Amino acid sequence: MSSESFAALDPAAQAAVRSAQLARKQARQQQKQARLQAKLQAKQQEAPAASEYRSCISKDEYFEAGRGGLFRDPSLPPTAESLALLLRALEAGDEQARRLGLCAYFQFGSGARAEQEAVWDATFNARLAWEGFFTITTSRGAGGRTEPLPELQPFYGVLLWPNFEASRHVRRALARLCSERRGLALSNCADPERTWQHIERYHRAMHDSNWLTRRYFEMMQAASDDPSINFTLHCIELAAEAAEGGAADGATPPSLDAGGHARLTGLSGRADLNGGEARLLHFAPEAGRWAVEMDGSREAVRVKEANLVALPPPPPPLAGEIGFSVGRVYTSLSGWTGERTADSIGTAQLVLLGRWLQRRGYAFWSLGHCYSPEMEYKRKLGHRIYPRADFRALLRRHRGPFELGGDGDGGGSGGAEREAAFEPLRRGERCPESQLL
């Protein structure tokens, strides 16, 4: 129907036309979903030998394996001792272990006021991650409060590098990036607050909620800042590389402003910092120096204005995610991407991040929830479906110890147990696309 003839209809007729159009659209979507579900079921029937792991699992099968739902014992406070007791019960091999094994969520504490705060303890939640829990949040806590919801998933999406490199989807994406040379760069913790704000806005717009709440994010930051435990927060962003040489012709040259960035130069007492970049914190007129925080190390120093070269603001990020690592295992938590375009920025961020993690020596990438068709992109990356017990066994081989003895090893790989090829992602680290292709 042409726009002119539609406009000539009375309101009731227009509403009927719109209703019919919507019904046809929904029918097409349902047919598409049914075709994809049939393909998934066919793949499951053609599953590989028992010694291998499949790449597809349906949503029904995934949630059926965790049909026990939530387990919460008021006598188990949120402590390392309670967690150890729960894990022993899960692994006992008896009838109680079988029933517990059908649960997916495990909450601690009785809801008493003191425990409402204890469930947010950064060290306790880092230990949950170290044991393989994928914690989100729930607003159904005591008194309707938001609180952590630790989950031991029935199945995990595990991305091993041979499967990643063998994926046709990944190969095509990398080939496209090689041919186009978009001048992209990945960064880690360049601006953690900015990364969280992007995730907050994206999920509020898309889903009206964001389970990775402000308090959850601050809890992870506190755990990551503790050098004595094996947990590191990562805030990944993908952006166009900043142009070299300062301001473009006719543009205002960058200035030294709080919150901006500058390169250090001409230092004599701390010549090791020359060439490094730092974030400008504030200017102290009485000392005639800027307080700055070095990118990467977060070391705070005071520098004369003459020893700072203002840098232009970096291009805004195009996509990103928040994740964490324990030892040589990286886990994605939640991500965001800008408006979907033919440039496939979201895909570019994922495949470049995979390359980055692989080349830094991470053993594998945990992608978390893994059912299709909702999370079909994880299958395209090459993930394999690991049952809970197999995932935790794989995690134990690569996570290192939980307590690091206060040696300041933020990578959490266990000191002497670290493999020579493993160099964990560092705060403020940046990697151009050209180094990953």
The answer on pLDDT for 233 being more than 60 is yes
User: Between these two residues, 25 and 135, which has the higher pLDDT value?
Assistant: 135
| Cα–Cα distance for residue pair 299/234, rounded to 1 Å | 18
User: Between these two residues, 352 and 27, which has the higher pLDDT value?
Assistant: 352
205 Cβ neighbours under 8 A, 6+ residues apart: none
Domains in the chain, CATH or no CATH each = 59-149 (no CATH), 155-242+316-435 (3.40.630.30), 261-311 (2.30.30)
Band of pLDDT at residue 4, cut at 50, 70 and 90: low
User: Tell me, what's the pLDDT at 416?
Assistant: 38
User: Tell me, what's the pLDDT at 8?
Assistant: 75
- Locate tokens 């800008």: which residue? 338
The answer on pLDDT for 96 being more than 60 is yes
Band of pLDDT at residue 227, cut at 50, 70 and 90: very high
User: Between these two residues, 25 and 94, which has the higher pLDDT value?
Assistant: 94
User: Tell me, what's the pLDDT at 1?
Assistant: 61
The answer on pLDDT for 417 being more than 80 is no
The answer on pLDDT for 79 being more than 50 is yes
| Cα–Cα distance for residue pair 247/258, rounded to 1 Å | 18
User: Tell me, what's the pLDDT at 41?
Assistant: 59
Hey, what are 124's tokens? 């306790």
pTM of the predicted protein model: 0.78
Hey, what are 100's tokens? 């517990």
Q: Which of 109-118, 180-189, 349-358, 415-424 has the highest mean pLDDT?
A: 349-358
- The predicted model gives 52-73 an average pLDDT of 93
**pLDDT per residue over 340-392, tens digit each?**
665 689 999 999 999 999 999 999 999 999 998 889 999 999 999 999 999 99
User: Tell me, what's the pLDDT at 321?
Assistant: 97
User: Tell me, what's the pLDDT at 48?
Assistant: 42
**pLDDT per residue over 150-179, tens digit each?**
999 999 999 999 999 999 999 999 999 999
Give, in degrees to the nearest 5, the angle at Cα 410 between 265 and 310.
20
User: Tell me, what's the pLDDT at 2?
Assistant: 63
Q: Which of 11-25, 40-54, 156-170, 312-326 has the highest mean pLDDT?
A: 156-170
User: Tell me, what's the pLDDT at 21?
Assistant: 78
For residue 355, the tally of other CB atoms under 10 A from its CB is 22
- The predicted model gives 423-436 an average pLDDT of 91
The answer on pLDDT for 409 being more than 50 is no
Band of pLDDT at residue 50, cut at 50, 70 and 90: very low
Band of pLDDT at residue 339, cut at 50, 70 and 90: low
